[in-house]
Structure 1
Amino acid sequence: MKIQKVRIVSNNICYGPEPLPEDEVEQHLTISASGRVWFTAYKYANGFVKYEICRKQQLAIGEPVAKEILALFSQYINSDQFDCYATDIGTWEMAITDTEGKKHAFKGSLCGGVTVGDIDLTYYLREQIPVSGLFIFDGCEGFARTSI
């Protein structure tokens, strides 16, 4: 299956104390077949559903790299993944759009383990996309988790 784009929304809010207004709590990452990448991060600011943009970046990773990434997501669609679900950590939602416009939706908890074969997609994307602190599927190990 040929993929046109992948959009991943990662929300790093957990149970616990409410985040501070400047805490980064959600990230949106879109990768297109053309090699364009859009990244937007949101801080807690005024609370739930009132997040404010704290970082925004558009970049090009090149069409060959994008095609390689999208080929991995095509394999992901065709695999029988067991997604980690937990209630005490953040979540991710992913929409994969194929070249015919059909959308495939997936979601899980930020506990990592999203793989294709022996390739961990979180680590692979961090290597290919030069944006610091990407949450993706594990909430960014080493990046402070935000609790509420």
Structure 2
Amino acid sequence: MQIQKVRIISNNICFGPEPLPDDEVEQHLTISANGGIWFTGYKYGNGFGRFEISRKQQFNIGKPVVKEILELFSQYLDSDQLTCYATDIGTWEMKITDTKGEVHIFKGSLCGGVTVGDIDITRFLRRYLPINQLFIFDGCEEEEI
């Protein structure tokens, strides 16, 4: 299947202490077939539902690299994977839009395990996207580029 874009919203709020106003709690990542990448990180700010933008990046990684990334998401669409759900960690929502304009929606908890074969999609994206502390599917913000 040909993919036009992938949009992932990762929210790292979980049960436990309330985040501090400057804690980054949500990230929006869009990957387009033309190589464009849009990223916005949101800090807790004034509370839930009143997040504030903490950082933004927009850049292009080129069509050859994005083709490889979107091929992984195409394989993910066809893989019919089980999704991890837990109530004590953050969540992610992914919208994959194909070239026919159809939107495929997937949701899960930030517990990782989003793979195609033996490729962990979170680690794969972190390798190719020059963005520090990406939550993506596992919420792990320790990895630096």
Give the residue type in structure 2 aligned to 1:138. Answer: D
- Percent identity between the two aligned chains: 73
Report how far residue 80 of structure 1 moved: 1.7
Are 1:122 and 2:122 matched, yes or no? yes
Matches within 5 A, 1:106-145: 106-142=106-142
Structure 1 residue 110, shift from structure 2 partner:
0.1
CA deviations 1:15-66 (Å, max 9, x no partner) are 0111000000000000000000000000000111100000000011111111
Tell me the amino acid that sits aligned with residue 61 of structure 1.
I
How many equivalent pairs are there?
Answer: 143
TM normalised by structure 1 equals 0.95
Letter in 2 for 1:45: G
Change (3 A) 1:61 1:141: same
User: Per-residue deviation at 1:141?
Assistant: 4.8
With the length of structure 2 as denominator, give the TM-score of the two structures.
0.97
User: C-alpha distance in 1, partners of 2:104/2:118?
Assistant: 22
1:61 paired residue number: 61
Gaps of 5+ in 1: 144-148
For 1:140 and 1:34, the matched residues in 2 are separated by 28
Segments of 5+ residues of structure 2 without an aligned counterpart are none
SS of 1:111's partner is coil
Instruction: Please say if residues 134 and 141 of structure 2, whose CA atoms lie closer than 8 Å, have aligned partners that are also in contact.
Output: no
Letter in 2 for 1:17: P
Where 1:26 maps in the other structure, the secondary structure is strand
Extract structure 1 runs of 4+ deviating beyond 3 A: none
Tell me, yes or no, if structure 1 residue 9 matches structure 2 residue 9: yes
Give the partner amino acid of 2:117: G
Where does residue 71 of structure 1 map in the other structure?
71
Aligned to 1:146: none
Q: CA RMSD in A?
A: 0.8
